[in-house]
């Protein structure tokens, strides 16, 4: 679950955006000043929505500060179109920008678009190990070119394990990786999913690799 930082000094706006973001599956934290935004940015943020007009430190400065050591996507929000010249001209490195007034739907569409773009650019999310092929983007997995009909969780589990050959994951670790940080379910849930995943994998031969149980710890993917 991606985490947004929403920085705007208008609490009504941030509240609406926060609610809306949650409905779309984004966690979010809110800052009402520029300095607060910089402070909160340290808490592992996936995308920043940054209002230009803010007390203490304006959006431009915050953006430039963040860009000094991070490429986390930033969407600038401005009250009027005139700021365009500055956003572009100052080369502050925002990824997109939105002019007020906006609809929450528009904001979310842009957030998702930017995240998608970043995601596609950075990782291809494809694994090929022996006869196993996992494509997280297309949500398809196959053994010997025969398609496995995996569910979302199953493919995510398999990807996580296979992408980290021989590394053992605890159940809590997997819950974090696949289910997200703010998921508080039973860790035995992982077992059930592993069973279902194995049942599907074992319909085909794969002598060179397997998903193994690490006793007292969790699970790992292993190439022999």
Q: How far is the CB of 62 from a second copy (least distance, A)?
A: 18
**In the set 69, 122, 184, 195, which binds a second copy (CB under 8 A)?**
184
Sheet holding 146-148, edge to edge: 126-129, 132-135, 140-143, 146-148
> 198 touches which of a second copy, DNA, none (CB within 5 to 8 A by kind)?
DNA
Stretch 100-129 residues interacting with a second copy (CB under 8 A): 100-106, 109-110, 112-114, 116-117, 121
Residues making contact with DNA (CB under 7 A)? 149, 151-154, 179, 183, 185-186, 188-189, 191-196, 198-199, 213-218
> 195 touches which of a second copy, DNA, none (CB within 5 to 8 A by kind)?
DNA
With respect to a second copy, which residue has the nearer C-beta, 35 or 96?
Answer: 96
> 145 touches which of DNA, a second copy, none (CB within 5 to 8 A by kind)?
none
Using CB under 8 A as the binding rule, whether residue 147 contacts a second copy is answered as yes
User: How many whole angstroms separate alpha carbon 150 and alpha carbon 135?
Assistant: 12
**In the set 32, 131, 167, 177, which binds a second copy (CB under 8 A)?**
167
Which of the ranges 59-67, 87-95, 123-131, 188-196 carries the binding residues for a second copy, by CB under 8 A?
87-95
SS (H, E, C) the chain: CCEEEEECCCHHHHHHHHHHHHHCCCEEEEECCHHHHHHHHCCCCCEEEEECCCCCCCHHHHHHHHHCCCCCCEEEEECCCCHHHHHHHCCCCCCEEEECCCCHHHHHHHHHHHHHHHHHHHCCCEEEECCEEEECCCCEEEECCEEECCCHHHHHHHHHHHCCCCCCEEHHHHHHHHHCCCCCCCCHHHHHHHHHHHHHHCCCCCCCEEEEEECCCEEEEEEC
Please check whether residue 104 is in contact with residue 94, taking contact to mean a CB–CB distance below 8 angstroms.
Answer: no
**In the set 2, 53, 58, 139, which binds a second copy (CB under 8 A)?**
139
Using CB under 8 A as the binding rule, whether residue 223 contacts a second copy is answered as no
Footprint on this chain of a second copy (rule: CB under 8 A): 10, 12-13, 15-16, 23, 81-85, 87-91, 94-106, 109-110, 112-114, 116-117, 121, 137-140, 147, 151-152, 166-168, 172-173, 175-176, 181, 183-185, 214-217, 220
């Amino acid at each position: 679950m991606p985490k947004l930082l929403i920085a705007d000094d208008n609490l009504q706006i941030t509240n609406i955006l926060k609610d809306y973001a949650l409905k779309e599956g984004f966690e979010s934290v809110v800052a009402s000043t520029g300095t607060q935004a910089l402070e909160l940015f340290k808490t592992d943020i996936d995308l920043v929505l940054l209002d230009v007009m803010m007390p203490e430190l304006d959006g431009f400065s915050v953006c430039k500060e963040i860009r000094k050591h991070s490429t986390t996507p930033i969407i600038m929000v401005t009250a009027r179109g005139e700021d365009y010249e500055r956003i572009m001209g100052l080369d502050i490195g925002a990824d997109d920008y939105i002019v007020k007034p906006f609809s929450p739907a528009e904001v979310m569409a842009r957030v998702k678009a930017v995240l998608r773009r970043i995601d596609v650019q950075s990782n291809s999310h494809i694994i090929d190990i022996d006869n196993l092929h996992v494509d997280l983007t297309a949500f398809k997995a196959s053994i010997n070119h025969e398609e496995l009909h995996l569910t979302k969780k199953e493919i995510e589990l398999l990807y996580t394990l296979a992408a980290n050959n021989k590394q053992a994951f605890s159940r809590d670790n997997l819950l974090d990786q696949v289910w997200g940080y703010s998921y508080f379910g039973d860790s035995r849930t992982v077992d059930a999913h592993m069973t279902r995943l194995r049942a599907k994998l074992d319909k085909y031969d794969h002598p060179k690799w397997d998903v193994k149980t690490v006793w007292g710890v969790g699970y790992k993917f292993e190439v022999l």
